[in-house]
Structure 1
Amino acid sequence: MFGPTSVSPNPHPLAGTVPLPHRGSSRAPGADRTEMALYGIYEISKLLAMPARMEINLAGVLSLLSSFLDMRNGLIALLDGTGAPEIVVGSGWSEATAKRYFRRLPERAIGRIVVTQTPLVVENVAHDPLFAGVDFSTWGPKGVSYSFIGVPIKVEDRVIGTLTIDRNWNEQPHFHYDRDVRFLTMVANLVGQSVRLQRLIAQDRQRLIAEQHRLAKAMADSVRSQRGLTAQSGERHGVVGDSPAIRAVLDKVRIVARSHTTVLLRGESGTGKELFAQALHEMSPRNKAAFVKLNCAALPESVLESELFGHEKGAFTGAHALRKGRFEMADGGTLFLDEIGEISAMFQAKLLRVIQEGEFERVGGSKTIKTDVRLIAATNRNLEEAVAKGDFRADLYYRISVVPLFLPPLRDRPSDIPKLAREFLRRFNEENGTHLTLTENAVQVLSGCYFPGNVRELENCVRRTATLAHGPSLTGPDFACRNDGCLSAMLWKGPARDAVPAGFQPLPIAPRNGAPAAALPPAPATSADEPPEAGGEWPAGCPAPGHCPATGDGKSEKERLVEAMETAGWVQAKAARLLGLTPRQMGYALRKHDIPIKKF
């Protein structure tokens, strides 16, 4: 059934059997061994079916084998196309230790398993010519004899690796090798099928990625020719700007809007997520139906459930009549859920069912209602971090993050600031019957500000200045940041506000004409392993990436960046953790200082 077993010279009589380690049943030893072997195969098959790295699964297989076989050490080696070890896993060893042990095995023994594609049994390696010249001092104490069993790991008719074990022959020389070889052959077959499936999945993934890149390039070429139309469409839906960053997002919005796919809008607070959601709806085939929106953070869980699903008459105190929920109101159209990262774990499960099954029941009702809604969600939270901490359900994350769209902060689109400022002033004039204008000096002041609150803060700044304006035009001195009255700067300074030197410009100003940027006081020291605050883009005390104040070690910012990258082996994510930055901040700082990334 499993092919011939290649037994080395100096055969030992295979008389008698040795029970497996787990025994104690009153039944016949043969029946116990068969049952234990089946149980072992069952447990190993379950382990190999788990979604984990191949090395972790193989280490688990060896751990289980030690429970079912009399073995000292176990080794699984997967070979590449040249026959060199690609992955080597040992029982209780690190990968480096396992590879060293595999290299100490004689090539003739491993070669015989690979070439003949049959198991190899050596009852006493000390007397076998295949192991001649091997230094057995590394195997264990002097004078101890060892047995060796190796079976091939095959995929179809090709050997892709070996499964080997060794055992102390002196302690129990009468082993039932045939039974153990059959058991190991079955295990090797399971390992081979698992490796084959994982490699097929990896190949399919690479193929899909390549196809996605090809389609994205073709789509980008098509969209690029219609970029002017796209920008006009964005402005028609309230999205103002023509910078490369905003055009790239509008290009994606126009593509995604044609489908019914769920979209997750990611971005800092104040980047205009609701406007982009409105644009997605109005550019979609559902634009004739309703666009319903709800801020999930504005309502408690009990009210949120009623708002989304509706309630029956008498469902609770105050429910005097039947009320439709937002899902019913948006049937056939689009539902926009803002701040979805703020909902509780219990409500996440309820929301998951509606998204997954397209059905729900009103509060206090038992009738199942079907709904056809295109869901657009938005958040400024780090959902990946929330999933890792268990604060946000992973299955809900995968449901809402089908097509994530990242909205650029205002600092990444500075060329849009003048256009946005004029649009906000135009709206102010319409609402208040005024005719204020922006001078070039005022535009320069706004273009030099950092605006951590993004577009919302820019709008507030323009409206506040317009409200307090003394003349027909807004000039540079009219703005609060020129009079030490910027409330945003006070929030940005936080607990370090008392350390601000006299004459310090409150709002962080970007450098112009090579002049150094104004820097805020450094933030309190944090552990290198701690990430930046959730939702924040830069560490406190840095007005922008690449503008952090120098530390007391006398090193420049560029020197500290290079030192961190060298310490981290030029891995940006690791270097970012060492400096207390996010990977995005690290990439920004490296580009600012024109530091080339070394590839190894």
Structure 2
Amino acid sequence: MRQNIIALELQVLYEISRVIGETLDLDETIGVILRILGEELSMKRATVTLQDDQSEKLLIRTSHGLNDEEIRRGVYNLDEGVTGRIFRTAKPFVVPDIAKEPLFLDKTKSRRFEKDKVSFIGVPIMLHGHPIGVLNVDRLFGLDVSFEEDIRFLTIVATLISQMVNIQRQVRAREENLRLENVSLKAKLSQNYQRFFIVGKSRPMARVLQLIEKVAPTKATVLLLGESGTGKSLIARIIHELSDRSNHTFTMVNCASLPETLLESELFGHEKGAFTGATDSKAGRFEEANKGTVFLDEIGEIPMNIQVKLLRFLQDREFERLGSTKTRRVDVRIVAATNKDLEAEVAAGRFREDLYYRLNVFPILVPPLRERKEDIPALLNHFLDKLSKEYDRRLRLTSKALDAMVRYDWPGNVREMENLMERLSIMTDGDTIELSDIPSFFFHKTDVPMQRPPELASLEDIEKHEIIAALERNGWVQSRAARELNITLRQIGYRIKKFGLEGVVAERRGR
């Protein structure tokens, strides 16, 4: 009898050894092992219960003889029932008759219709001297074989399972290391990344870099906060490039530049006839960017009724096109940006509080130039290098001009600086940018002592340059420039037309 048992055990272990290593799918391999135990040893039921990393509860990972509903019921606290005791004590446990054992909870309800006596055995699954789970089975070898034989054999099987768990953990750790290395490699290769951070060595920008690298590989919604011109749209693109969505679409929607109906259609799409001019059905940006990233710039300007629809989308990734009742679902990541204080907007009733919390999952505050003045010289050289390729000459700043640039507060931030350097590249005759070459209106909010250059000889010239400067500082968005200048949208539109700036505004907004 003993020889027959040993021969049977060897046969089962041989079958198990054949399946181990054929796949790295832990659940699939354990499922095959339990099936072999069931077929070769007439075992009716078995479960492998492992500790969940997040909940720390014991969950049935794989089973034999249980249906899906029974598996879902198999959740145990570490001090609960027979399974909890085996895990806590790291020792086998035998139940000769489950009907007479108070510790046997039958939480799966898989044995409630059993009429015959059922014996139950469990052994801990140990790894590096600590329990990681439990292997439970109905008795294997029958009444004429001792429980010790069952325990001895199951301990061998549990050891094999623990080694598979260990291998899977090592594979996952290696995959995570490779993923992080891939993110780092993408960062090195990304031109946008280089462009943004090669000239941002200050402590505030180092913090931004750290946050970008942490959030980029995740699925989290990101909210970029900061003044106009600080580079929020560039950061949004970098986050996309460093994510696993980089091979899919990145699309940007400026929520301040479209009227309400057009903005809703732009985001969610519309059906033919949904509104005047809707001659065809059209997919929105969310549909077009499926599997990719949608960047919602100026999110603080979004109208209240669209906020409701956007909230639902952020919660469920579901929406309907304008004029349609068909619910659509897409997988996109949202990165939003604003230069507004959204908490103040919520308090004022202009922005939904629930939408704010949905957007504010991972906020990144992008510092203005005046808070990282040590970056200014490198930024200026970066733009001069870039422009030298476009205009085929390399300009340099005198020490006085550089000092003025560093002391300037740059209300339009990096965007204002880039625009100024391009203008100076066009206007400067020689190879040196002098203090007098810099238009005085760039310094009207600072204490930099300067004389008004001769080109600003009339009030009309001054007004024209003020309009251009305000537009540059505000990304060529007329409504925002008008607010800064404390004039109406109609008034700034009149001045743009008066000074013949329509083409310039259209070109800059199109960039």
Q: Which has the higher contact order (CA 8 A, sep 6+)?
A: 2
Q: TM-score under structure 2 normalisation?
A: 0.49
